[in-house]
Amino acid sequence: MLLTEHEGKRLLAAAGIAVPGGFVVRSAGALARRNVAYPVAVKTQVAAGGRGKAGGVVRARSRREAQNAVSRLLRTSFNGETPRAVLIEPWLEIQRELYLSVTVDPAAEGYVVLYSPRGGVEIEAGKPPARYDVGPAREFRAYRLREILATVETDAAVRERVIALARRLVTLAATRDCTTVEINPLAKLADGSLTAADAKIVRDEYAGFRAADIAAALEKARRPEPRPISRALAGNLMLVWLDGEVGLISGGAGMTMATMDLIGDAGGKPACFLDCSANPTPTGYRLAFELLDGEPKVKVILVSIFGGLTHMDRVARTMKEIMAGRRSRKPVVFRLNGTNAKRVDEIFAEAGLRNHAALENAVAEAVALAKKRYGR
């Protein structure tokens, strides 16, 4: 979960990291009630990268300029996201822009610190940043980072400030469940101090059970999603809409993707990625059918599940019940295999349902039905 800049800076400030003293407004009018020293930076608040390059940060020399900028930015979407707020900060006189980030990296078996003496919008075009593989947060060693920085940063005072900052960032990542904490640019000001001019923080969605702020943010992020997606999330199903016509109800990310690939090979297109493995219950599957039955672009439903912990005799009984009570006339094709799968045929036979033995045959039938029934 990517935070917006001002959310990220709140976390940084709480960890004792210097950030510009800004405030957030949600309308141009709100600026009139504030006593502000100009010039200021007017910064759109969207959880997306590339904002600076796309004109999402404006320098304003007066209240009038700032208000114009706020109105304009609130109307402009960046990377498909419309901002709900704008951050106003004092315009920094930056002597040099640096780059510093801490992120989770498998090669480091934990956290890695990345540093470049030249940061800013062109960071990706330049030389790759210097890299310190920390591992678990408690393995952070200032002298190791100092050795690495010595090769790229000639200013010893900056080096020491970066080391102190990096330690705080690593601690922040570990204690507040952040998978990425990126400061770009990290601004070196005239007095030699370092300030986080921007903040890109990604928090770990899986840590909601112990971090109340993550749980609240996830809940909030769910609301503006289109209804089927928010319902799927609430029902513990993983739904991603795609632009095809074969609705896929599946279990396990791997089998879902493998079946999507086969649908493509058979000349069809998957309408969605819908993984029910986190909620393989009658409630979960019923919701899956409701979502796909209610979606006009879905012409046929393919149920493809290879269960391990999910017992397929239970799934078959659930499918039987769902099919008996279902109003939609969209055809459904089944391929169930896995634990207790040998009982599926018997359960299906009672209801006149058919289970494919081979995944390819099930996919072929689903794709053919989608084409035949709807004249494609």
Partner 1 sequence: MSVLIDQTSRVIIQGLTGNVGRFSARDLIAYGTRVAGGTSTSKADTEVEGLPVFPSVRAARESTGADVSLVYVPAATALDHVIEAFEAGVRLVVYPGDGLPVQDAIEMRAAAKANGGVLIGPNTPGIISPGKAKAGFMPSFCYTQGPLGVISRSGSLSYEACFRLTGAGLGQTTVIGIGGDAIKGLTASEALALLHADPDTHAIVYLGEIGGQDEYEVAAYAARSGAKPLAALIIGRQAPPGKKMGHAGALIGSHADTHAAKMKALNKAGVYATGTVTGLVTAVNAALAGVKLARARTA
Mask for 119-138, x = binds partner 1 (CB under 8 A): ----------------xx--
Inter-CA distances, 294 with 117, 237, 278, 299, Å: 54, 16, 22, 11
Neighbouring-strand partners of residue 270: 246
- Closest contact distance (angstroms) between CB of 323 and partner 1 is 23
d(Cα 103, Cα 111) in Å, to the nearest integer?
A: 5
- Closest contact distance (angstroms) between CB of 315 and partner 1 is 13
Angle in degrees, CA 216, 80, 23, rounded to 5: 55
Residue among 265 and 350 whose Cβ is closer to partner 1? 265
- Closest contact distance (angstroms) between CB of 24 and partner 1 is 27
- Closest contact distance (angstroms) between CB of 244 and partner 1 is 8
Q: Give the DSSP letter string of 344-358.
A: HHHHHHHHT--B-SS
How many residues in the shown chain lie near partner 1 by CB under 8 A? 51
- Closest contact distance (angstroms) between CB of 160 and partner 1 is 27
State which of positions 157-216 bind partner 1 (CB under 8 A): 173-174, 177, 179, 204, 206-207, 209-210
d(Cα 184, Cα 195) in Å, to the nearest integer?
A: 10
CA-based nearest residue to 201, from 175, 168, 177, 167: 177
Q: For partner 1, which residue of 122, 219, 265, 346 counts as binding (CB under 8 A)?
A: 265
- Closest contact distance (angstroms) between CB of 261 and partner 1 is 5
State which of positions 310-349 bind partner 1 (CB under 8 A): 337-339, 341
Angle between helices 344-351 and 312-325 (to 10 degrees): 10
- Determine the straight-line distance between the first and last CA of the chain, rounded to whole angstroms: 39
Asked if 78 interacts with partner 1 (CB under 8 A), we say: no
Q: For partner 1, which residue of 32, 234, 278, 349 counts as binding (CB under 8 A)?
A: 278
Give the β-pairing of 94-105 and 178-189.
antiparallel
State which of positions 292-311 bind partner 1 (CB under 8 A): 305-309
State which of positions 219-258 bind partner 1 (CB under 8 A): 238, 240, 242, 251-258
Q: For partner 1, which residue of 37, 75, 93, 107 counts as binding (CB under 8 A)?
A: 107
Q: For partner 1, which residue of 109, 122, 346, 350 counts as binding (CB under 8 A)?
A: 109
CA-based nearest residue to 152, from 165, 137, 141, 163: 163
d(Cα 59, Cα 55) in Å, to the nearest integer?
A: 10
State which of positions 38-67 bind partner 1 (CB under 8 A): none
State which of positions 8-27 bind partner 1 (CB under 8 A): none
By CB neighbour count within 10 A (0-12 exposed, 13-18 middle, 19+ buried), where does 249 fall? buried
Residue among 155 and 204 whose Cβ is closer to partner 1? 204
Asked if 275 interacts with partner 1 (CB under 8 A), we say: yes
Phi-psi region of 226 (alpha: psi -120 to 50; beta: other; left: phi over 0): beta
Asked if 106 interacts with partner 1 (CB under 8 A), we say: yes
Burial code (b: 16+ CB inside 10 Å, e: under 16) for 276-312 equals bbebbeeebbbbbbbbbbeeeebbbbbbbbbbeebbb
User: Which residues of the shown chain bind partner 1 in the complex (CB under 8 A)?
Assistant: 104, 106-107, 109-111, 135-136, 173-174, 177, 179, 204, 206-207, 209-210, 238, 240, 242, 251-258, 260-265, 269-270, 273, 275, 277-278, 305-309, 337-339, 341, 359-360
